[in-house]
Amino acid sequence: MKPPPPTYEAVIKRTFPHPLSRVYRAWTQPEHVAAWLKPGEEVSLTVVSFDLRVGGEYHFRYEHGVGIFPVRGKFLTLEPERLIIFTWRPYAPHPDADKDTMVSVWFRSLQPDSTEVELRHTLFPDEPMCQCHEKNWWGTLEQLSRYLAGHTQQSD
């Protein structure tokens, strides 16, 4: 029996100087997601759909200088203020089109105004795809940091 092919994983941890509830809302409300879930300022994101429930689906449309890149996925696990797991599937013309991967995001309150986010993007079929996404997630979490710093949310 042939062993399964290897898969690759990107793991990123980042601490945000904001309460857990605020950081979690930024990941779970489409109006917030649209403002920051992108690797840089040169990219725009349209949240086409966002059905936040187990089995619910999302559809994003990323736009930047070289074109429009749709991404779709399904929410697999939702544990409020603790864990979100979703699939991630880019579509053409993205170079990794039609390759399903999975993203897990853990939230940990370190202090009343400090939250650690651990992101694991898994099931990459090759190292170049993993490295590309890891780089983009670092940029995306930087966008989240800037968004949280500049945007006041109610009920923190």
CA distances from 103 to 15, 21, 36, 124 (A): 18, 20, 17, 11
- All structural domains of the chain: 8-150 (3.30.530.20)
Prediction pTM value: 0.91
Give pLDDT, residue 152: 61
Identify whether the C-beta of residue 7 lies closer than 8 Å to the C-beta of residue 129: no
- Tens digit of each residue's pLDDT, the chain (156 residues): 777 777 899 999 999 999 999 999 999 999 999 999 999 999 999 999 999 999 999 999 999 888 899 999 999 999 999 999 999 999 887 778 888 999 999 999 999 999 999 999 999 999 999 999 999 999 999 999 999 999 765 444
